[in-house]
Amino acid sequence: MDICDLYEVVAVKVECNGNVGSGCLYQPSTEDYSYVLTAKHCLTGKQGEEKEFELTDIMITASSEVRVQQRIKPIEYIVHTSMDLAIVVIEFIPNLPKYLIDNPVLGSDVRLNGFPAFMKGDRKSITSTVHECSHKKTSFEVVVNNNQLTNYSNNESVLVEGFSGSGVFMEKEENSYLVGIFPRFTAEEGAYHSLTVIKTEEYNSLLKNRDRAQLIPNYLSSFKEYIMPAFEARSENIAMILNDRAEGLEEITPLMIKDTLNEKMLLPYGEINSHDRDIWIGWITLLTYLNIESEERDFSLMCTRNQNGNEQKVRMFYSYKHKRLPDLFKVIMNNKVVYNDIGPNDCIVINHEGNSGEVLRLSQERMSKIVMDIGVSRLQYMHKIPRIDQPTITKNISLIHVDSFKEKFREFAEIDDFVELEESLRSSIKEVLNGG
């Protein structure tokens, strides 16, 4: 979708008990609902003039130029206790364009996109420049360019009336990213053409507290920034092959993996920290290996392989708490939900922050000892297993660290022939996945 069309579609007018402002439509990774991001005072009234309101008081209207003209029905509202931000949860809008959020960049141009009152119901987009921006602050300042808030008959506060709650977008690489929502002037009456913008991460914090789907950050849109740190320490020729393979997997994104696996990315299951680079470095590393072995680029096909005539799923887990493979095996055996999700012969690949330690693969003998330590009868009862032999209880899974592949690659570091080197890497990857 053209950027101008995007701005037209996502801008909405927000009205509540005589308060008029703007809002920004947003589609998170769910089909249960959509969002309108706005300023709190567009619902409650200005500071010192707040009024109570009901959900039925909120009216949201899309631009007359777009097809999202059907009635937009609010189903919940979320307001911040102290900051001028609010989110209206609305009924799901099919085919709403998806876009990502990002952090503002000092000196970059941004667009304010909303429904100022002086436009009499029409959408308006004005260009501003990020003037002040600190990572420690919840907001940043922009300065409106080219006197776009000035004319001969109105002061700036009148011209910007109705703009509160507008989305603020930053354009780069032919894409547009939401960087914040505009609630107010920085100074009284709009002096210095300076506007305050609340960062999108504050909206995500509010959504997280309400257990709602979050806005999608730009760093989940591609593995591009994680490829170099994944392979930069490898020998030169090995790194060239791995980088080339990883760059060919552009259709697989961190967001795709997050949406597919969600809490099942962690062991034990839980919410990941999407900002954690180690998680995504681990994933692009494993995906690159699987691509070399299988020649597949489809995520599902890459993670499903044939091992001695049996189907094997390759699963990757990140662990915050446990780093030793024996401890992680105990988590699998003692957690009913995790245990039931894992299939026979599955290969479990572990990643975590820091060094991998000495044990990169848990042997079947060690698994058997852990099973005995936990108690065969206890596991048999817990998982409703009729037979009590160790391969049945453990499902004959393999448990390895993602660094176990790298250890196998060491012997190939001096190979200069790239065809021979790639074939050696492929054979060693297959060997690791097959239990070697």
Domain's final residue, options 176, 209, 242: 209
In a domain, 345, yes or no: yes
Longest dimension (CA), the chain: 87
Interatomic CA distance for residues 109 and 116, integer angstroms: 20
Predicted confidence at residue 387, as pLDDT, reads 60
CA distance linking residue 50 with residue 38, whole number of Å: 16
Helix (H) or strand (E) holding 75: strand 74-79
Peptide bond into 268 cis (omega under 30): yes
115 Cβ partners below 8 Å, 6+ apart? Answer: 11, 12, 13, 21, 22, 121, 122, 123, 124, 162, 163, 166
Residue 245 within a domain: yes
* Residues 23 and 47 reside in one and the same domain: yes
Alpha-carbon span 290 to 30, nearest angstrom: 29
- The helix-helix angle for 224-231 and 277-294 (nearest 10°) equals 80
Q: How far apart are the first and last CA of the chain?
A: 49
pLDDT for the residue numbered 191: 46
Residue 283 has what pLDDT? 98
266 with 150, same domain? no
Question: Which pLDDT belongs to residue 70?
Answer: 56
For position 383, what pLDDT does the model report? 75
Q: Which of 209, 230, 252 is the last residue of a domain?
A: 209
Q: Residue 338 corresponds to which tokens in the numbers above? A: 């995790």
Angle between helix 236-247 and 418-433 (nearest 10)? 70
For residue 74, which of 48, 55, 94, 51 has the smallest C-alpha distance?
55
Are residues 352 and 398 located together in one domain of the fold? Answer: yes
Give the domain extent around 146.
3-209
One domain for residues 253 and 344: yes
Separation between Cα atoms, residue 122 and residue 7, nearest integer Å: 12
User: Exposed, middle or buried, 234 (CB in 10 Å: 0-12/13-18/19+)?
Assistant: middle
- Say if 216 falls within a structural domain: no
**Locus of tokens 């947003």:** 26
Do 406 and 288 meet the contact criterion of CB atoms below 8 Å apart? no
Q: For strands 19-26 and 11-16, give the pairing.
A: antiparallel
Domain count, the chain: 2
Instruction: Assign 240 to helix, strand or coil.
Output: helix
Same domain (yes/no): 26, 166: yes
Q: In this structure, are 170 and 247 located in the same domain?
A: no
Phi-psi label, residue 166: left if phi above 0, alpha if psi -120 to 50, beta otherwise: beta
Q: How many CA atoms lie within 13 A of 168 on its CB side?
A: 33
Residue 152 is predicted with a pLDDT of 36
Consecutive sets of 10 residues in the chain, 436 residues long: mean pLDDT of each?
Answer: 83 91 91 95 88 94 63 92 95 90 92 69 78 87 72 48 87 90 66 79 92 88 93 94 96 91 94 89 98 95 89 96 94 93 94 88 91 78 64 85 93 94 96 87
Whether residues 135 and 267 fall in one domain: no
Residues 339, 69: Cα–Cα separation, whole Å: 48
Same domain flag for 266 and 399:
yes
Pair 42, 1: CB distance under 8 Å: no
Whether residues 252 and 333 fall in one domain: yes
Does any domain span residue 273? Answer: yes
- Same domain (yes/no): 232, 163: no
Q: How large is the C-alpha radius of gyration of the chain?
A: 27
Q: What is the per-residue pLDDT for 153?
A: 43
Q: Are both 12 and 62 inside the same structural domain?
A: yes
Among 165, 184, 209, identify where a domain stops: 209
Contacts of 186 (CB under 8 A, 6+ apart): 141, 192, 194, 195, 196
Q: Is residue 215 part of a domain?
A: no
Whole-number Å distance between alpha carbons of 41 and 256? 36
Residues 228 and 296 reside in one and the same domain:
yes
Please tell me the distance from the alpha carbon of residue 371 to that of residue 360, in angstroms, as a whole number. Answer: 19
CATH of the domain at 132: 2.40.10.120
- Neighbouring CB atoms inside 10 A of 419's CB total 8
CA-to-CA distance for 98 and 27, rounded, in angstroms? 6
